[in-house]
């Protein structure tokens, strides 16, 4: 068991939540602190195959999910749970990453790229949806926007093009993956995209990379 590595990762996650709470108390909006924890937390997850075993990762993900569920029911960790809209996204977030790990732990490039797509494109979609006026549509217990979906595609393509420079993969599969993932993100409300997108993103990257 990687005791030192597990301790370091747990400390990093704890520090992330503490910093988010400090930002909220300094007047940063809950939407912003929530997106900050989303992007940073998933970025941390992207590199964990280098330091943890799959079993250790899954155990850690379950613990984090349990802590997030408990703090939600207790009205704590408002930097994550304090949004007005109904959502289970925070609790589902580590579970989605755990499922993604099961599908791709043996393929760290696909796992890392898929997780980074989820880390950056999803909050970019939420931010664009808030800031840019565009057509919106209803999903279960929420709404999505055209500007958000386009932002998701744009960030996913940027990640994909960087990967293409590194690996020489074709642009066509990257575009297809970005569009498909954006359609899925744009059809799920109540935070369910946090459960579905991570595994679908890593599977998409496995297909793109041919692994």
Query: What would the pLDDT profile of 117-154 be if each residue is shown by its tens digit?
Result: 999 999 999 999 999 999 999 999 999 999 999 999 99
Report, as an integer, the average pLDDT of 55-69.
Answer: 98
For residue 133, with 0-12 CB atoms within 10 Å meaning exposed, 13-18 middle and 19 or more buried, which class applies?
exposed
Residue 116 CA to residue 44 CA, distance in Å, equals 9
pLDDT at 85: 87
Backbone angles phi, psi at 71, to 5 degrees: -65, -30
Tokens 């099961």 -> residue? 102
pLDDT beyond 90 at 168: no
State pLDDT tens for residues 24-53.
Answer: 999 999 999 999 999 999 999 999 999 999
Residue 51 phi/psi, 5° resolution? -130, -15
Please determine, for residue 108, whether its predicted confidence score (pLDDT) is greater than 90.
Answer: yes
List CB contacts of 161: < 8 A, sequence separation 6 or more: 171, 174
Q: Is 11 exposed, middle or buried (0-12, 13-18, 19+ CB in 10 A)?
A: exposed
Range scoring the smallest mean pLDDT among 79-88, 115-124, 180-189: 79-88
Confidence at residue 167, expressed as pLDDT on a 0 to 100 scale = 84
Alpha-carbon gap, residue 84 to 127, rounded angstroms: 16
Cα 139 to chain centroid distance, Å, stands at 19
Are 118 and 197 contacting, i.e. CB atoms less than 8 angstroms apart?
A: yes
Q: Is the pLDDT of residue 109 over 90?
A: yes
DSSP state of 50: G
Contact 129, 144 (CB under 8 A): yes
- pLDDT at site 20: 98
Contact 166, 143 (CB under 8 A): no
* Contact yes or no for 8/58 (Cβ under 8 A): no
Average pLDDT, the chain: 96
pLDDT of residue 1 exceeding 90, the answer is no
């Amino acid at each position: 068991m990687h005791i030192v590595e597990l301790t370091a990762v747990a400390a990093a996650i704890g520090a992330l939540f503490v910093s988010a709470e400090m930002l909220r108390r300094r007047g940063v909006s809950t939407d912003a602190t929530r997106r900050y924890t989303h992007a940073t937390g998933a970025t941390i997850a992207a590199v964990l195959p280098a330091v943890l075993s799959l079993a250790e990762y899954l155990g850690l993900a379950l613990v984090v999910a349990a802590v997030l569920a408990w703090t939600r029911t207790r009205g704590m960790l408002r930097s994550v749970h304090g949004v007005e809209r109904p959502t289970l996204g925070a609790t589902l977030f580590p579970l989605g990453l755990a499922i993604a790990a099961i599908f791709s732990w043996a393929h760290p490039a696909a796992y890392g790229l898929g997780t980074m797509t989820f880390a950056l494109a999803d909050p970019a979609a939420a931010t664009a949806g808030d800031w840019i006026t565009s057509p919106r549509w209803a999903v279960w217990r929420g709404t999505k926007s055209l500007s958000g979906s386009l932002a998701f595609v744009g960030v996913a393509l940027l990640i994909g093009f960087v990967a293409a420079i590194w690996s020489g993969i074709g642009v066509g599969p990257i575009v297809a993956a970005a569009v498909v993932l954006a359609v899925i993100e744009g059809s799920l409300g109540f935070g369910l995209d946090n459960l579905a997108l991570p595994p679908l993103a890593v599977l998409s990257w496995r297909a793109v990379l041919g692994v």
